[in-house]
Amino acid sequence: MDLKGLTVKELARLAGVSVRTLHHYDAIGLLRPDARSGAGYRLYGRGQLLRLQQILFFRELEFPLAEIARMLAEPDFDPARALRGHRKTLEDRIGRLHRLLDTLDKTVAHYEGEHMLTEEEMYRGFAPEKITRMKREARERWGNELVEASEQRVRGMTREKWEAVGREGAAVNADLAALLDRDPGDAAVQSVVARHRAWIEHFWKPDADSYRGLGRGYAEDPEFRAFYENVAPGLADFLRRAIDRYCENFPAKEN
Amino acid sequence: MDLKGLTVKELARLAGVSVRTLHHYDAIGLLRPDARSGAGYRLYGRGQLLRLQQILFFRELEFPLAEIARMLAEPDFDPARALRGHRKTLEDRIGRLHRLLDTLDKTVAHYEGEHMLTEEEMYRGFAPEKITRMKREARERWGNELVEASEQRVRGMTREKWEAVGREGAAVNADLAALLDRDPGDAAVQSVVARHRAWIEHFWKPDADSYRGLGRGYAEDPEFRAFYENVAPGLADFLRRAIDRYCENFPAKEN
DNA sequence: GGTACGGCCTGACGTTAGGTGAGAGTCAAG
DNA sequence: CTTGACTCTCACCTAACGTCAGGCCGTACC
């Protein structure tokens, strides 16, 4: 079979996917063949091979197919830029697997009576990538629309803007940490909380309820809590209380 | 809530799984709580925490839940031994991810006009081969040493030898299928089983226990079973029984 | 030309492992 | 008592294919 393109079996073999997968991707419009032979056989050219590779990278990172299709369809989709993002995520995963191996070794040592395995040690390395988990939780707390709107806002940012937002967030956290010895209702603290709210609005626009919920999440979610406690011990609860006070008189913020 | 055990939320948080997952595992009998509170709350103790860890290791390696349940239920299941098998598989995965990073870098270079990406290079690191799944299972059943020895033998084969071995295996299966109406202990059947054992020794040298375990695997593993049932209906169980009979007087085989 | 076999097509049912939502009981603090 | 977080069971739903079936296609061989 040599008809100016690869048949499904040839491509399936080359890419390590099933023929059924290729049929499925064609059916949903994710990967259409370049052409069809007179008998109706699918024929894939080089461009489809590269596209399938992009799809497989996103799939490897557990993106849903519908989302892959959407991203590939964006007018400003840049394959090289996407790949650079994937690299970071793959490196994170390798790091996770190393942590899992560490957990494994500690568990073997535990079974051999050589190590006392704590509950916290037991599950290190299992949790999926943090951003995906946080995204799921954000959906659970605030609904899907907010998360999508948040992603749209983030996606529209330039790299420079994104880095400025990152610096702004770190500055807010540092300023809050410096005010830890004050009452959460203190005017200086509340001023920083207002900056925090403005920072959040790079991502989404909270009302009083959802902002209060966010504060609670900072204190109660183990990953958020660990993050803030790492900035300064006591910061997670302090920020939660400061946000609660702020929400007692939630200013209408124009923007 | 401090009632001599963890509630679903506490365990879910600790282990990084969902409450729904814990409900599901309870419903299918995979992970039952130690106790129930007066109100019907599930309460998990330390033993369940360790068991959940074992489950999560198997899950990480993509074992189906039903299979995880079966393996955990085997009388001779040894957690430390299982973990040692997992370690090898996780190391393989890290290796695969490094290959994927290599593919990624080559692709970025391709997009930047600095590398000519071949079709073979395009998909390196993506799909673990099907043999990897079977290798994983073999490790869980028989330990790592046998699998490594098997790979050494296969690696030393020429292509011609490999094809001859393939034909020999098919012939053994066909002969077994032709004897399906006989008793598994019949002399002719046992003669074919001896040929089957000789065939297996192209890959590894079983003793009576491991050969019996292989027979069991043929009948119980869904992929092996499907393969043999495809050759002839009833063949998987027949072969398992024939191997059991053969192992009652396991000949010392010189080679 | 007929046969055999591997390859292709479309159509359609089935599967696994939870996700999601609902209604109602439980627990602890104010 | 109220409130809010937590729990229970029940039940519908889903993504991404896997599997099977019936029939056409292409090539080699008799």
Read off the CATH number of the domain in which B172 is found.
1.10.490.50
Q: Which nucleotide is nearest to A1 (CA to C1')?
A: D26
Q: In terms of pTM, does the model score above 0.80? A: no
A223 and A173 within one domain? yes
H or E, element range at A36? strand A35-36
Average pLDDT for chain B: 77
Of the two residues B105 and B119, the one the predictor is more confident about is B105
CB-based burial label for A65 (10 Å; 0-12, 13-18, 19+): middle
Q: Is residue A228 part of a domain?
A: yes
- Nearest-Cα distance to chain A for B30, in Å, is 18
Of the two residues B190 and A52, the one the predictor is more confident about is A52
Residues near B245 by beta carbon (within 8 Å), at least 6 away in sequence: B184, B185, B190, B193
CB contact under 8 A, B84 and A108: yes
Read off the CATH number of the domain in which A23 is found.
1.10.1660.10
- From the Cβ of B9, is strand D under 7 Å away? yes
CB contact under 8 A, B60 and A126: yes
CB contact under 8 A, B119 and A91: no
Taking only the tens place, the pLDDT of each residue in A41-63 is 999 999 999 999 999 999 998 88
Name the residue facing B49 among A15, A119, A126 (closest C-beta).
A119
**pLDDT score at B101:** 95
A193 and A159 within one domain? yes
CB contact under 8 A, A53 and B16: no
B156 and B243 within one domain? yes
Best probe of the A interface among B52, B59, B83, by most A CBs < 10 A, is B83
Q: Is residue A232 part of a domain?
A: yes
Mean pLDDT computed over B114-119: 86
**pLDDT score at B230:** 63
CB contact under 8 A, A56 and B123: yes
Mean pLDDT computed over B1-9: 76
Q: Is residue B218 part of a domain?
A: yes
Name the residue facing B111 among A80, A93, A133 (closest C-beta).
A80
CA distance A54 to B107: 10
Q: Which nucleotide is nearest to A40 (CA to C1')?
A: C9
Domain count, chain A: 3
Mean pLDDT computed over A107-134: 77
CA distance B128 to B95: 11
Size (chain A), residues = 255
A139 contacts in B (CB within 8 Å)?
none
- From the Cβ of A144, is strand D under 7 Å away? no
Taking only the tens place, the pLDDT of each residue in A154-209 is 444 443 454 455 567 767 777 888 888 888 888 888 888 888 877 777 666 666 76
Q: Which nucleotide is nearest to B18 (CA to C1')?
A: C18
**pLDDT score at B22:** 96
B145 and B117 within one domain? no
Q: Is residue A131 part of a domain?
A: no
A115 and A174 within one domain? no
CB contact under 8 A, A111 and B86: no
Structure tokens at A48: 């489809």
**pLDDT score at A152:** 44
Least confident of A54-63, A243-252, B118-127, B203-212: B203-212
**pLDDT score at A198:** 77
Of the two residues A193 and A224, the one the predictor is more confident about is A193
Name the residue facing B94 among A16, A97, A120 (closest C-beta).
A97
- Nearest-Cα distance to chain B for A228, in Å, is 18
A163 and A118 within one domain? no
Helix/strand/coil for B6:
strand
**pLDDT score at A153:** 47
A79 contacts in B (CB within 8 Å)?
107, 111
A51 and A84 within one domain? no
Q: Outline where chain A has alpha helix (H).
A: 8-15, 19-27, 46-60, 65-73, 79-111, 119-122, 130-142, 144-155, 159-178, 187-200, 208-220, 222-231, 235-248
Structure tokens at B235: 């063949």
**pLDDT score at B85:** 85
CB contact under 8 A, A97 and B93: yes
Q: Is residue A142 part of a domain?
A: no
B210 and B159 within one domain? yes
CB contact under 8 A, A87 and B104: yes
Q: How confident is the model at residue A119 (pLDDT cuts 50, 70, 90)?
A: confident
Q: Is residue B1 part of a domain?
A: no
Helix/strand/coil for B223:
helix
B155 and B240 within one domain? yes
Helix/strand/coil for A122:
helix
Chosen domain end from B90, B107, B128: B128
**pLDDT score at B44:** 95
H or E, element range at B174? helix B159-178
Nucleotides of D under 7 A from a protein CB: 5-11, 15-20, 24-27
A122 contacts in B (CB within 8 Å)?
14-15, 49-50, 53
Mean pLDDT computed over A73-99: 88
Cβ distance B16 to A126 under 8 Å?
A: yes
Least confident of A55-69, B5-19, B24-38, B225-239: B225-239
Taking only the tens place, the pLDDT of each residue in B125-180 is 886 644 444 444 444 444 444 444 444 444 444 444 544 555 667 677 778 888 88
Q: Is residue B109 part of a domain?
A: yes
Chain A residues within 8 Å of chain B (Cβ atoms): 14-17, 49-50, 53, 56-57, 60, 79-80, 83-84, 86-87, 90-91, 93-94, 97-98, 100-101, 104-105, 107-108, 111-112, 119-120, 122-123, 126-128, 133, 222
Q: Is residue B73 part of a domain?
A: no
With pLDDT > 70 as the criterion, what percentage of chain A qualifies?
A: 71
A30 and A86 within one domain? no
Q: How confident is the model at residue B221 (pLDDT cuts 50, 70, 90)?
A: low
Q: How confident is the model at residue B97 (pLDDT cuts 50, 70, 90)?
A: very high
- From the Cβ of A38, is strand D under 7 Å away? yes
Mean pLDDT computed over A65-81: 86
Give me the domain span that covers residue A102: 79-122
DSSP A43: E
For residue A85, the chain B residue with the least C-alpha distance is B104
DSSP B128: P
- Nearest-Cα distance to chain B for A8, in Å, is 15
CA distance B160 to A224: 60
**pLDDT score at A27:** 93
Least confident of A77-86, B14-23, B136-145: B136-145
Q: Considering only residues 199-228 of chain A, list those whose CB is below 7 Å from strand D.
A: 216, 220
CB contact under 8 A, B126 and A87: no
**pLDDT score at A98:** 94
B137 and B115 within one domain? no
**pLDDT score at A8:** 94
Average pLDDT for chain A: 77
A165 and A223 within one domain? yes
